Amino acid sequence: MSGEAEFRVRVAETETVADGIRRLRLVPLGRAALPLFSGGAHTVLTMQDEDRVLRNPYSLMGSPFDSSSYQISVLRTRDSRGGSIFVHDKLKEGSELSITAPVNLFPIDRRARRHLLIAGGIGITPFMAMMEQLEREELPFELHYGMRSKAGGAYWSALRDTYGRRINTYFDDAQQKIPLTRLLENQPLGTHLYVCGPAAMIDWVLTEAREAGWPEENVHFERFSAPPAGAPFTIELAKAGRVIDVKPTQSILEAIEAAGLTVPFLCRGGACGQCETHVVSCSGTIEHNDHFLSAAEKASGGKIMICVSRLKSAGSRIVLDL
Amino acid sequence: MGLVFKNETFRDDFTFSNSPAAIKRFPFPFHEDRYMYTVNIEPHIAGPKGSVYEFPIDIDEHYLSDMRDRALVLKEDPLRCQSLPHMLTAEWDLVELLMTSMSESYPEHFTLTREGDNWHWINRPMGIDQKFTFGDVATLPYRPMEYITRQCQGDFCLLDQRDGDLWMDAGIVSTQADWSLDFDVGMSFKEWHAPVPMAHEVGVFDRALKFLLNMQQGKPVRRLNWTMTINPRLDTSPENYHKWGKDRTTVTPENVGNKVHLRVELQGLWRLPRSNAIVFSIRAYLIKMDELVTVPKWGRRLHRVLKTLPDAIADYKGTTRYRQTTIDWLAKYDDGAPTSKGCWPD
């Protein structure tokens, strides 16, 4: 029973599994096994890129029952911060890094009579682990998986081999589209819907589900935001008595960490609520990028999720209760 | 060194008592001379050797008698153990947590051997030798949660996490301070805490819920809760109120020392791996006033805590009828001297 929540791992294997998608297998360093996890869980990778520390969340896509290694898949994106580029260009077999203990913000709801999984692109990864667990627990599921193309989609062929007709694939370049309306209208009572993919796809599925009369409790989604870049601004930590500049490609959380301070975090994607921080005062406008605070809380300006949210205009200043 | 298990009862003739060693390790809950609700959650990390915090799951001299009492409760009322159908994965997670912890902490009493899903469990004090297939209910004589909790001290609840809340969807509760799993099963975190006075207003449950929803694997936490019980009765359930409620009227200045017990619950919380559920364990420790005042600091402090306790909390804890009698009795152990910070004996 270890009390630690972060461990060192080594990259044991890398593989390009589709255009722009790289799979990594991570094995533990200095301990025999990694904790088991539940389908839908993620880990946060800490990557040391020269003088910069990057921490990004990635869904665990390997078997939840394999304690010898974790697997993640990363899509190369042209995000301004360079996390995915670091994974693609700088990590190699033998590289060592730190990861956090698994956290699940996208768990299976085992009350469901049936599990309807909708994936878009790299959003397939949490479902890989989830389906392995659903299969083992003998829970009925079906997957509908949209991709740009056969070459750009990961794992679809292997998934078909493993799960047969429960895997339905759709390729944009063949003008195939997930028949969402029909799917949502033709499910037995007690079905739960899960969606993970690009933001626009999640919005589409949630809207359609609402219009089709699905109860909110039966609809689950995983929406991580990478912290967006923006204008530089200044934060003041009221309790610590520190003034810190936040660079255009840094989040507030990253700027605080770069200054040598630590604050609690879990998902770093604006979803879990762990880094919720009280605002003492603010000279500018907060750009709320999280999915945690309610619309009313965002409007009041009294709280900010420092992992993804920032100030809109250059030179403005926010005082935080930290 | 092995534990020596006592043979005692928690009903009828009430032969339960604490050895001097058990008194010394009693988890006295008051770190100062007054009491108020707080989010008193701390990491469940190893504490001093010999203390109730030494191991994740504490087994003590009352083990066999506790387990005998639980079996009696379950025989009379099988609904003390309930699990909604979607909690089976969490039940297996609990089997792993308890068997692993018990065998690692007390290897002379418990042994677990695992080869893949083929598990072999030996419980020497209870004379159990069980081979089973992890994940296969048919290979155990009971459902997984009931199987292992008939062999582990403390009540256990399994909380499912969904929709930004926790749901009490399974549990075994036979040593409770006047609450009922049969009543609470399926309730959300705030529903089952609704009867607690004063704590809602100070936001304790909002903060505790947010904390628990983000609890991580490998980082269990604990807190202490307390109440008072007349006679060393583990099963003070609403279902059996007719058997023990009247005990509260039997306290006299002459019998306080033997009848009135401080009841402390060591509550542990763990995130489970496969199910993402949370285990909530509630381990009750009883100590009679005669035993408690053998530690002078505890006698002084409990006297002051009871004297200053807000009436709403005293009522909620069911102490109204005998509180003043107990305060009067404890007064002779309170010389007014200052008490040191913290819970441990001086």
- For B279-295, the pLDDT digits (tens) are 999 999 999 999 999 99
Mean pLDDT on A109-123: 96
Other C-beta atoms within 10 Å of A124: how many? 26
- pLDDT at res. B267: 96
A20 touches chain B (CB under 8 A): no
B104 touches chain A (CB under 8 A): yes
Q: Which residues of B touch A111 (CB under 8 A)?
A: 84, 86, 162
Nearest CA in chain A to B211: A274
Q: Is residue A143 pLDDT above 90, yes or no?
A: yes
Q: pLDDT below 70 — which residues of chain B?
A: 1
Mean pLDDT on A108-132: 97
For residues B230 and B244, what is the distance between their CA atoms, to the nearest angstrom? 8
- Give the one of A104, A111, A136 whose C-beta lies nearest to B276's C-beta: A104
Q: What are phi and psi of A110, to 5 degrees?
A: -75, -5
The answer to whether the beta carbons of residues B329 and B346 sit under 8 Å apart is no
Whether residue A36 and residue B273 make contact (CB cut-off 8 A), yes or no, is yes
Q: Is residue A3 pLDDT above 70, yes or no?
A: no
- Give the one of B45, B101, B163 whose C-beta lies nearest to A217's C-beta: B163
Domain ranges of chain A: 6-104, 114-222, 233-320
- pLDDT at res. A4: 46
Residue B153, C-beta contacts closer than 8 angstroms, at least 6 positions apart: B57, B58, B59, B60, B62, B63, B66, B67, B283
CATH topology of domain A6-104: Elongation Factor Tu (Ef-tu); domain 3 (2.40.30)
Instruction: Say what the ipTM of the complex is.
Output: 0.86
Residues A233-320, CATH architecture: Roll (3.10)
Catalytic (active-site) positions of B: 223
B-facing residues of A in 200-239 (CB < 8 A) are 217
Whether the CA torsion A107, A112, A114, A116 is positive or negative: it is negative
Whether residue B101 and residue A35 make contact (CB cut-off 8 A), yes or no, is no
B210 touches chain A (CB under 8 A): yes
Whether residue B273 and residue A111 make contact (CB cut-off 8 A), yes or no, is no
Q: Is residue A98 pLDDT above 70, yes or no?
A: yes
Would you tell me which CATH number, out of the four given (3.40.50.1470, 3.40.350.10, 3.60.15.10, 3.40.50.80), belongs to the domain A114-222? 3.40.50.80
Interval A19-51: pLDDT, tens: 999 999 999 998 889 999 999 999 999 988 887
Mean pLDDT on A250-255: 92
A126 touches chain B (CB under 8 A): no
Average pLDDT of chain A, as a whole number: 92
Angstroms from A237 CA to nearest CA on chain B: 22
Of A112, A74, A72, the closest CA to residue A214 belongs to: A112
- Give the one of B88, B135, B219 whose C-beta lies nearest to A5's C-beta: B219
A1 touches chain B (CB under 8 A): yes
